[in-house]
Chain A
Amino acid sequence: MIRAGTSPSGAEATPDADGTVDLEELYRARQGDLVRLAYLITGSHAVAEEVVQDAFVKLHRAWDRAQDPGPYVRRIVVNEARSRLRRLAVERRHAPPPVPVVLPPEIDETWTLLAGLSPRRRVALVLHYYLDLSIEDIADAMECRPATAKSLIHRGLASLRRKLDGHDPRS
């Protein structure tokens, strides 16, 4: 079993009596949520799982510096997913379109439009509307200022709204 050092907060993982937080426990507690988060950012199951794996490796390396492993690993995931998303965007520009997945039209349309947003806007929207993070927490996760996080959400929403208006048969 892999154990890491003392941390003041173990997120969902419960610290042991000696104050240590078990990395496996943290992994099992957070992996699912983090993979889903990474998936919403990257749009790829495989990449999302890779991102989370890599994030835990980085967390393990940096355990001594991680004051709060939960938010810390989430921040790594967000950064890593965003980085992967940029690469994916380049790849997808040169790759054949993916096989369409059968989804309800509304979900399909919104998901497609979400994929068209810039990485930062997409990340901000995912953190806000999926994780329900506060502006401050989004800023922390994205390592930006709250005003920037707020702006990204605002701009992302405005962009989606314009695009949806373009698709909306009522308009």
Chain B
Amino acid sequence: MVTTHEVEQRLRRTMHAMADSAEPADLWPDLTARLAAVPTPARPPEVPVTPRRGIRRPVVAFAVAFTMVIATLGVGIVLHPFDATEPGEVARVVSRDDLAYIPTYLPPGAPSLNGSLSFETEPRHPVPRLALLQWADATETRAAAGLSVWESMTGDSPHDAYGEPEADGLWVVDLIGTEPSAEFHVVGQRDDGSVFTAIGTGTDVHPVDSGLVRDLALAVRDGAPLPAELEEWVDVTPASIEPLVPEPVWYFNSAKPESHITGRIGPDVFDPRIELVKGPERCEMVAVRAIPAARCWRENSGTLTWQIADGVAAALSSYKYSADELMAVAESMVLMSPDDPRFPPEE
């Protein structure tokens, strides 16, 4: 058995040996010729503000978010009961005094959250809420149309949380990262019910492009060639296009190793419920899904268990929830740390 330490030592030796073999030539003259043709701009070029990118601008973002909140809240209040929590229905916790809430819609058979969350009264970042509302709106719309689409947005900043996948049969489109370097995860369900995941990364194109994400997802799902516009920057590794339960992966937040979230996937049901950790009085919830990034293992019963932790689903990380609010979501809670014996040993 090779230990991690041995791997690290081999890596260091290998990298230094290989780096030593890369003795670069003096290419300054060539570079000089290239630089001579490149004027140094006196100031950074103006970046055109489009609605999508302009969402980053706080004023515009807030205005749009506020409009969306009002509109969606109004529709939600009229159309949906507040206490619906069964899968397949809209589950909401709504306070008339608090425009902040997370609607969770759970199409039958899709990942289930089994509950609702409410934000703190004071919204910290209106734009992620906008995204969440759009998410809910899009989900409900698609559900009404008979599509099972579940979309979630993640990111450290508001503009990461955006997207509008429209691919029939897709569950999750998960956008991570920031321009110019970004990564997104796509989880889809094929017609035969099997699940696939794909990870795309890009450096030249803003990942939050619904068309590209949709095209990628469809291409992956159907085994078709990637759209030409994606080939230059999207990496979809065949190994990642496998049924769920890929290589064990888990995210770890050293600052809060106790706040893990677990869920279970049964043989016939894909029901990654959130089982939140009963942490300190107030804990920050940073992960509610990111299923492809979960650590999965199979128990003797045949049940698959997955685990995710901090570092994922940052769309919700901007908000802090009380422990009670978190508890209200969870059906059961499991406290795990990396040293927890219930963790399966590393492969």
Contact = CB atoms under 8 A, between A and B. Distances in A.
Interface of A: 2, 4-5, 23-24, 27-28, 31-32, 35-37, 39-40, 45, 48-49, 52-53, 56-57, 60-65, 79-80, 82-83, 86-87, 89-90, 103-104, 106-107, 110-111, 114, 118-120, 125-126, 129-130, 142-145, 147-148, 150-151, 154-155, 157-162, 164-165, 168, 170-171
B253 to A, nearest CB: 6
Interface in B42-63: 42-44
Contacts of B233: 83, 86
Given A86-B235, A143-B180, A159-B247, A31 B201 contact: no
Contacts of A171: 1-2
Q: Is the interface of A mostly helix, strand, loop or mixed?
A: helix
A109 to B, nearest CB: 8
A144 B178 CA distance: 8
Interface of B: 1-4, 6-8, 10-20, 22-25, 27-28, 30-32, 34-36, 38, 40-44, 156, 176-178, 180-181, 183, 199, 201, 203-204, 231-235, 237, 247-254, 310-311, 314, 346-347
Contact of B252 (A28, A60, A62, A151): A151
Contacts of B4: 157, 161
Contact of B44 (A64, A83, A126, A165): A64
B24 A31 contact: yes
A79 B2 contact: no
A157 B9 CA distance: 11
Contacts of B254: 150
B297 to A, nearest CB: 13
